[in-house]
Structure 1
Amino acid sequence: MDLDLYLSEYDRGNLTIGAIASHSALDVFDGAVEEGFPTLAICQRGRERTYTEFFRARREGGEVVRGMVDDAIVLGRFRDVMTEEMQRALRARNTIFIPNRSFSSYVPVEDIEERFMVPLFGSRNMLRVEERGEKRDYYWLLERAGLPFPERVEPEEIDELTIIKLHHAEKKLERGFFTATSCEEYRRKADLLLRQGVITEEALANARIERYIIGPVFNFDFFHSPIEDRDSRIELLGIDWRFESSLDGHVRLPAPQQMSLPEGQMVPEYTVVGHNSATLRESLLEKVFPLAERFVEATKEHYAPGIIGPFCLQTCVDKDMNFYIYDVAPRIGGGTNVHMSVGHPYGNALWRRPMSTGRRIAMEIRRAAEQDRLGEICT
């Protein structure tokens, strides 16, 4: 993609911020409105009303007084954004496209890398590190960075609590995770989930089995600015954690009730259905920033020019206050809607105004446009 050519044709004073209408799009659009940008939602038919009706923007005197979605294009499928006609339409609106996980889930990563001829905010070449089975995935990157992550084991090596990570058979974009403390339990639960149609033999054969870190989950929403010339280029904006179904329903049951569940309800599922906000004990922040620094440096070395904009390091903290990174999002995280409009606690304190991830993205685009540096934040 000739990024410089496309950006040279853009009216930098009339940019639009666009995204696939799913995942974290509301945060992106809300932040864009706060920074004065028009917004464009790329919707899929049957899933559009959130954006075309309920959060539709209304402007009075040029100011948005309600909602945050200025315009929406409804397609038959999300992947139809790849048509030449759609890409021309996006460029005609001077669109800077914000990738989220829905974009890289519904559109093949190879197509995003090679055929999506629209300036993309962030690290286009890093989206593939989330793909299961990818040789240079985020575990590979974490290892190169010397960052802590849960140890991988084989079924025969299971001698303590482990988590088995694989895709759900029917909910293609969701998880079919389960836990086991022995090889026998692993085989028993796997057989049960296979019979229930929750997982497949192929997914099980390619599953990652890793030691389960017992402790709270903290998803750190970071931002890396390549155009920041005075202060730290790494910012901690906020922290979130997940609500998962049916797991969270299971943990609210008394132990005797859990033990008496019928076979079909015995093994919980780990489908993310929502998020909440968190803060971290201040003394532990000293351990967190080095994780981000080492991650950023590793991305520069192995995925030049490195991570741009938002990224999320998803961690567990054990009883000895050691952090383990169990997942990485090389783009806006899925939990940032919890900070929409009100901003992230740390981002607000840093910037002295409400600063969500969506607004921080829009602010970076505005600053880059004003400084004629869009080529440094888009790929």
Structure 2
Amino acid sequence: MLNGKLTIVTLGSHSALQILKGAKDEGFKTLVVTTTEKAHFYKRFKFIDEILSIPEYSDFESIEKKLRNKNCILVPHGSFVAHLGLEINKRMSLPYFGNKSVLDFEAHREKQRQWLKNADINVPAQFEDVENISYPVIVKSYGAAGGKGYFYAKSKNDFKKKMGNFKAKHYVIQEYVIGVTLYIHYFYSPLTSELEILSMDRRYETNVDSLGRIPLRGQVGLKIEPS
């Protein structure tokens, strides 16, 4: 049972700053749970009332009782499955904003794809057989950490050459779609049953901007992939 002043808590990763800034603007107390080595980063933000450090994100369960005593409501984001795993997420009894069933989709690329197809949204072609690759593709690691570990291949032979250095055991091969790099921030309110687009931004890999500044001839032979 929640009584008194509520505290919004989330993991120190992904969209933690947006979540906690919004919570503070709405009058809530805020708390971030982060690893010891990253705690110093969050000390610079005045809208974060408290920082709780743990050695590893996998130790989250050890502080669950403490968070409950602080009257916390957990607001998840895209890194929860990657850092905590499905089992810990589903096992935790801390008040949780949202539907935990969505976590199964967050961790499973095929379920994500089927979700989009069921909504009649166009999705990139996907290859099960390498021999069928006939145009540029992007190869992504499987699961919630798919934002890390991927490469672009312009052909079947290029794919075979680059796979030797790819560390992911599970991956998907998809058509490389040339288009606008756009990430939409939206929020669905269970109170009003309205879906609201809050903002949009462009997503780049950490080194892609610098790579793009190098003339094409200068990029040849560098063997650097966006990351």
Normalising by structure 2, report the TM-score.
0.90
2:130 alignment counterpart: 155
Distance 1:90 1:109 in 2: 20
- RMSD value, Cα: 1.9
| 1:189 match: secondary structure | helix
1:103 alignment counterpart: 80
Residue 103 of structure 1: how far off its partner (Å)? 2.4
Distance 2:151 2:126 in 1: 15
| 1:257 match: secondary structure | helix
1:224 has 2:191 as partner: no
2:34 alignment counterpart: 43
1:54 has 2:23 as partner: no
2:211 alignment counterpart: 250
Taking a change above 3 Å as real, the CA distance of residues 213 and 175 of structure 1, as seen in their structure-2 partners, is: same
2:2 alignment counterpart: 10
Distance 2:200 2:92 in 1: 31
Equivalent residues in 2 for 1:137-156 (5 A)? 137-153=111-127, 154-156=129-131
Equivalent residues in 2 for 1:114-125 (5 A)? 115-125=91-101
Distance 2:148 2:131 in 1: 23
1:181 has 2:154 as partner: yes
Distance 2:38 2:14 in 1: 12
Residue 187 of structure 1: how far off its partner (Å)? 0.7
Residue 210 of structure 1: how far off its partner (Å)? 1.0
Residue 128 of structure 1: how far off its partner (Å)? 2.4
1:70 alignment counterpart: 49
Normalising by structure 1, report the TM-score.
0.56
Residue 175 of structure 1: how far off its partner (Å)? 2.1
| 1:36 match: secondary structure | coil
Question: Contact (CA 8 Å) 1:15, 1:38: kept in 2 or not?
Answer: yes
CA deviations over 1:293-340 (Å, ceiling 9, x no partner): xxxxxxxxxxxxxxxxxxxxxxxxxxxxxxxxxxxxxxxxxxxxxxxx
1:23 has 2:17 as partner: no
Listed as ranges, the gaps of 5+ residues in structure 1 are 1-8, 56-66, 271-379
Distance 1:150 1:174 in 2: 17
Residue 245 of structure 1: how far off its partner (Å)? 2.9
1:237 has 2:198 as partner: yes
Q: Name the count of aligned residue pairs.
A: 224
Residue 101 of structure 1: how far off its partner (Å)? 2.5
Residue 174 of structure 1: how far off its partner (Å)? 5.2
Paired AA for residue 128 in structure 1: D
Q: Which has the higher contact order (CA 8 A, sep 6+)?
A: 1
Distance 1:245 1:29 in 2: 24
Question: Contact (CA 8 Å) 2:140, 2:146: kept in 1 or not?
Answer: no
Distance 2:173 2:34 in 1: 36
Listed as ranges, the gaps of 5+ residues in structure 2 are none
Matched-pair identity in %? 28
Paired AA for residue 156 in structure 1: E
2:225 alignment counterpart: 268
Distance 2:73 2:99 in 1: 13
Residue 247 of structure 1: how far off its partner (Å)? 2.6
Residue 45 of structure 1: how far off its partner (Å)? 1.0
